[in-house]
Structure 1
Amino acid sequence: MYQTDTEVAIPSYALAPDVNTGSRIFTVNKANCIVNYRLEDFLIPHRKGYYFCAFVKDGSTRHWIDMTPYKLKPNTFYFTVPHQVHLKEEAKPLTGMTLCFTDDFLALEENSLLRQLPIIQNPDNGHELILNDADVLFIEDMLEKIYAENKAHGNWQQSMLMGYMRILFIYLSRLYTEQFSQKDTAQDRVVLKRYLSKIEEHYTDYHEVSAYADMLNISAGYLSELVKEQSGKPAIAHIHDRLMLETKRLLFHTDQSIKEIAFSLGFEDASYFNRFFKRLSDQTPAGYRKQIREMYH
């Protein structure tokens, strides 16, 4: 997985090999109530270069995703996507299961469905699913099946794992849609999905809608019309939102100068970057950094 300039200041960790199979693209593990973090692991911002999912059966660890603190709750499902910034504030014993996989895992032909699901695309930037008793039973059972199959090395293991994964993540995506957006995920949103995917790949290089229209082989006007219709927001707003999110991550989690942040995000003029940020947030970058750090430190 490539690392962008903006990720150099915040280290990105690759997925550790699965303890049962040695796989570096898919792992499933049980949390065992043991806290084994080193002291130096705490309060250090980092990114996971993979999709991370955790079913918390019991526990109350406190951590951050981007600029939002979370106190883990029992019988809750947590999830993040690559490149988001994580920070451990405290760790207490917990039980549950974790499931992790990379973009390479999703790129496998048999996993093409997973990549299209809302919980994987995460358009509403969610991280937490509240579960009722029936949800807990279903999700815990599916994770146990995935764990057992991954450990067993039986015939047709990959097909069994993929079947369980599809069932689990379709179920989770239904919960995601209910709890976050209730947005239509039908075929008529395919242009929006492709547009957002291109922004995620190239937001540090291209800041204009026309550049993404060229990548998608359609006119800028037509792209703008479709994106506004499918998302309710102007096409340029999605580019600006992604730039603002990354700017806030770097202002909060690093000590890079404003000029360094501006250049890493593709702004050639730091003064223009300051005006851009202030226009969208009513604060200068320096003002935002001071305020957010005073609020949470």
Structure 2
Amino acid sequence: MPTRPRTIPALQMSNYGTGSLREQGVVVMPLELSMSREPQRLIPHFHDFFQVFLIQGPARLMHDFREHQVSGITLFFLAPGQVHTIYPRAESMHGTVASFTQAFFDHQAPPPSMLFELPFFSAAGAAKPWFTVRAREAARLISLFGDLQREYDAGKRGVLEVLRATLRILFVEAARLDAVRTPGEEPTRAALLTRQFHLAVEHHFREWQALTPYAKQLGVTVNHLNDVIHAETGHSAGELIRLRRLLDAKRLLLHSDMSVSEIGYETGFHDPSYFSRFFRRETGSSPADFRHEIREKYH
């Protein structure tokens, strides 16, 4: 009997196409080829780069412990560190996957990166990173993914700039579709503050557990920050920080061999017993039980 892997792998970009493009931080390839060449991508894994998928056909998606059945044409977005996989539900499933680093995408663009302003790459729980594309919307997106694949495979002069530009167009088109699904007026000041708070949490959740440093960075009072976040999300600001720390702990329990105590320290808890109480209070399971159950489920 084969040995069951102890950890969820951190996978690198696929070795496909021109090596010089991969070295620059970008790979575009057929999704079905990626899965047939590297079957480890069919089990939960993570990586340190971004991805966007065009999935055509039925599949089951797992993204940071959320699962969803999809069919037809689906866009799926992944940010670094997010544990995920795609399970084909039919041999006919196919598509395209574009993998790229932030350094490639931003190139010489000044901060802040456009990537973190997109709804698809938001902090955990802030957005659903997949949506079904309606038939009347599909042609444009399929064409853009086709342009990415043809440009990557041809590798002609200026290919890097064309790939960057096409990715940006793709994300603008996807953001338009997302806006249609969640119609509304221009973002309010409260919505903008909420987005800024999510980004600040993403950068500082391991070191800042209290609201004071977030409020100071965002230029508001603690009470105002908490009131706005609760009105916009239905959660208190402190609860969103706890949820982000909890997701961090879940990821480490799934894909690392660190002990429970080490994971507690890594996620900003100074007392391992308090980390265990926190985890049980939030999930109903101990960290050790969660690790056993989640590895049994996905192996």
Which among 150, 153, 164 is matched to residue 156 of structure 2?
Answer: 153
Q: Which residue of 2 aligns with 1:242?
A: 244
Aligned to 1:192: 194
Does structure 1 retain, via aligned residues, the 8 Å contact 2:194–2:229?
yes
* Residue 25 of structure 1 pairs with residue 28 of structure 2: no
Equivalent-residue separation in structure 2 for 1:83 and 1:155 (angstroms): 30
Structure 1, 235-244 or 30-39: larger mean CA deviation? 30-39
Shift of 1:107: 3.2
Amino acid in structure 1 at the alignment position of 2:84: H
1:47-126 equivalent positions in 2, closer than 5 A: 47-58=46-57, 64-69=62-67, 73-87=71-85, 94-108=93-107, 109=109, 112-121=113-122, 124-126=126-128
- Distance verdict in 2 for CA 1:290–1:36, change over 3 Å: closer
Shift of 1:268: 1.0
Equivalent residue number for residue 279 of structure 2:
277
Deviations 1:240-279 (A, max 9, x none): 1101112223334445432222111111111211222233
Report the number of matched residues: 285
CA separation of 1:64 and 1:278: change in aligned 2, threshold 3 A: same
Further displaced range: 217-226 or 131-140? 217-226
Structure 1: tracts of 5 or more residues without a match: 1-8
Listed as ranges, the gaps of 5+ residues in structure 2 are 1-6
> Aligned equivalents of 1:11 and 1:295: distance in 2?
16
2:52 maps to a residue whose letter is: C
- Given the superposition, is the C-alpha separation of residues 10 and 287 from structure 1 closer, same or farther in structure 2, using an over 3 Å criterion? closer
Which residue of 2 is the match for residue 208 of structure 1?
Answer: 210
| Secondary structure of the corresponding residue to residue 76 of structure 1 | strand
Q: How far is 1:174 from its partner?
A: 3.1
- Which segment is superposed worse, 132-141 or 105-114? 105-114
Please say if residues 280 and 286 of structure 2, whose CA atoms lie closer than 8 Å, have aligned partners that are also in contact. yes
> CA RMSD of the aligned region, Å?
3.7
Hey, what's the Cα distance between the residues in 1 that align with 2:120 and 2:266? 29
